[in-house]
């Protein structure tokens, strides 16, 4: 009991420290915060009991995020435990490797270096090895640089992106900073959809009335956007360690959409909860035309691609 109390006190102390030093929110910041809180307040608390390990894990995460939105300052959400643990890991040995790979690119100075300059939205921790940026953004940029290699074209030439599980919106923001101007759809759990909207608006990427970015938790809406893709459009389905964390029933509902899109890149860990992802993607995913390979500097991570050169 005492250990549990210490744990929870330590977590809350960390949350309070995250917003220490922030000034009073501006009128525009108050508006965005109110919109985020109103959206989260309307969401139900997700049940945990009786769910599969994967479903229970993400139900716990969504409940935690909802609680923090309502009781902490969202302007510092990138310092919240649920975000750091799942999509903004700190002190990773991978960051230095991936930053070095980015710096070795011929267009580092002209393209990638300015693109990974951090903004203040979410109050990210700066990376000591490159203080202009943060570890999550550096790792996102490296993943995107590899996606461009797989695609055989820069993001400026992509017509549409369907991202499954968009985290807090980092990949969407980065692609737009690099010149992407097509249709961008993110499908995610409701609290994360609300957080993505808050982040992308705070970062100046998403604006009222802008229909090029669609953030949704509704499967029917996702299906409609996929059905509306032009046959001649260069479209891509992207899932970065997200589809591989979902229950199998949802994966089966997503599969025909991926088949319809045709091009896909799915990064996945070998196991998540009760699912052996190596077996799943080898034997139960899309037939023909696919290839999976281990990500060299990530011991237990793989990427599955299809419809690409």
pLDDT in tens, 235-251: 999 999 999 999 999 99
Helix (H/G/I), strand (E/B), else coil: 148: helix
Closest of 296, 187, 295 to residue 304, by C-alpha = 295
The tokens of 93 are what? 């040995």
The tokens of 262 are what? 């045709």
Quick one: pLDDT at residue 289?
Answer: 55
Quick one: pLDDT at residue 288?
Answer: 57
Stretch 100-123: mean pLDDT, rounded? Answer: 98
- In contact, 238 and 265? CB cutoff 8 Å: yes
Q: For residue 77, give Cα distances in angstroms to 74, 122, 153, 183, 232.
A: 5, 5, 33, 26, 39
Q: Which residues on adjacent β-strands are paired with residue 272?
A: 275
Quick one: pLDDT at residue 7?
Answer: 38
Quick one: pLDDT at residue 299?
Answer: 83
3 pLDDT band, cuts 50/70/90, is very low
- In contact, 195 and 218? CB cutoff 8 Å: no
Exposure class string for 216-226: b at 16+ Cβ within 10 A, else e:
bbeeeebbebb
14 pLDDT band, cuts 50/70/90, is low
Q: Choose between 105 and 1: higher pLDDT.
A: 105
Summarised one tens digit per residue, pLDDT across range 192-231 is: 999 999 999 999 999 988 889 999 999 999 999 999 999 9
Summarised one tens digit per residue, pLDDT across range 124-155 is: 999 999 999 999 999 999 999 999 999 999 99
The tokens of 271 are what? 């196991």
The tokens of 18 are what? 């995250």
11 pLDDT band, cuts 50/70/90, is low
Closest of 237, 242, 247 to residue 269, by C-alpha = 242
- In contact, 113 and 123? CB cutoff 8 Å: no
In order of their start, the domains of the chain are 2-18+25-87 (no CATH), 93-306 (3.40.50.150)
Contacts (Cβ under 8 Å, ≥6 apart) of 294? 301, 302
Summarised one tens digit per residue, pLDDT across range 36-88 is: 999 999 999 999 999 998 899 999 999 999 999 999 999 999 999 999 999 99
Stretch 109-113: mean pLDDT, rounded? Answer: 98
- In contact, 177 and 115? CB cutoff 8 Å: yes
- Percent pLDDT > 90 in the chain is 82
The tokens of 185 are what? 């759809």
Q: What's the CA gap between 77 and 168, in Å, rounded? A: 9
Phi, psi of 265 (to 5 degrees): -140, 120
- In contact, 43 and 65? CB cutoff 8 Å: no
Helix (H/G/I), strand (E/B), else coil: 163: strand
Q: For residue 156, give Cα distances in angstroms to 48, 75, 182, 195, 210.
A: 42, 30, 8, 25, 18
Q: What's the CA gap between 166 and 162, in Å, rounded? A: 10
Q: What's the CA gap between 25 and 34, in Å, rounded? A: 11
287 pLDDT band, cuts 50/70/90, is low
10 pLDDT band, cuts 50/70/90, is very low
Closest of 226, 166, 174 to residue 194, by C-alpha = 166
The tokens of 180 are what? 């992407």
Mean pLDDT of all residues in the chain?
92
Summarised one tens digit per residue, pLDDT across range 290-307 is: 678 888 888 889 999 999
């Amino acid at each position: 009991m005492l250990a549990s109390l210490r744990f929870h006190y330590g977590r809350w102390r960390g949350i309070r420290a995250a917003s220490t030093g922030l000034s009073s929110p501006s009128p525009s910041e108050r508006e965005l915060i109110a919109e985020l809180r109103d959206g989260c307040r309307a969401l139900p608390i997700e049940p945990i009991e009786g769910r599969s390990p994967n479903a229970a894990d993400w139900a716990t995460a969504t409940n935690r995020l909802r609680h923090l939105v309502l009781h902490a300052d969202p302007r510092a959400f990138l310092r919240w435990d649920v975000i750091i643990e799942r999509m903004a890991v700190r002190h990773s040995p991978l960051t230095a490797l991936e930053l070095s790979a980015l710096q070795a690119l011929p267009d580092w100075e002209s393209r990638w270096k300015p693109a990974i300059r951090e903004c203040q939205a979410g109050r990210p921790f700066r990376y000591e090895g490159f203080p202009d940026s943060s570890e999550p953004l550096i790792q996102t940029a490296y993943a995107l640089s590899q996606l461009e290699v797989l695609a055989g074209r820069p993001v400026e030439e992509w017509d549409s992106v369907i991202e499954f599980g968009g985290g807090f919106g980092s990949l969407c923001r980065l692609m737009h900073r690099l010149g992407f101007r097509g249709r961008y759809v993110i499908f995610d759990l409701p609290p994360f959809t609300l957080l993505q909207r808050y982040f992308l608006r705070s970062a100046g990427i998403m604006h009222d009335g802008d229909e090029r970015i669609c953030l949704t938790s509704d499967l029917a809406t996702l299906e409609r956007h996929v059905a509306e893709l032009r046959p001649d459009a260069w479209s891509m389905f992207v899932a970065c360690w997200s589809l591989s964390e979902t229950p199998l029933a949802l994966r089966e509902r997503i599969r025909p959409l991926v088949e319809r899109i045709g091009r896909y890149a799915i990064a996945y860990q070998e196991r998540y909860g009760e699912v052996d992802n190596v077996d799943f993607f080898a034997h139960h995913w899309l037939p023909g035309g696919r290839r999976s390979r281990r990500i060299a500097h990530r011991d237990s991570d793989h990427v599955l691609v299809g419809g690409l050169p």
